[in-house]
Amino acid sequence: MASKEAYQQKLEAQIKEWDVKLEQLRAKAQMASAELRIQYENELEDLARRRKSMQKMFEEIGHHSEAAWQDVKDGAEKARLEMARAMDKFSNFFK
């Protein structure tokens, strides 16, 4: 079982990686046609909301004791996996 600190570091690194990826995707979306750009911007807004939610979960984990953080971790891990799938799905639009 991963320690709270190790999980926080993993989640923080993942959030930073998503920030970079979101910026790259925004740049690619700007080069799309007007019709596609609207669709891409809607997708990017959804990803940004998910990313913000992940940041809140990251902060919430920090407020829990070592013993109690596991309850929060389960929800955070589920959200992390959903975010990763959404990022991959959207990234595939540009391949």
- Tens-digit pLDDT profile for residues 11-37: 999 999 999 999 999 998 888 888 888
Distance in angstroms (rounded) separating the CA atoms of residues 19 and 45: 13
Sketch the domain layout of the chain as residue ranges. 28-94
49-80 as b/e: b if 16+ CB within 10 A: ebbeebeebbeebeeeeeeebeebbeebeebb
- Tens-digit pLDDT profile for residues 58-81: 888 888 777 777 778 888 889 999
Q: What is the pTM of this model?
A: 0.78
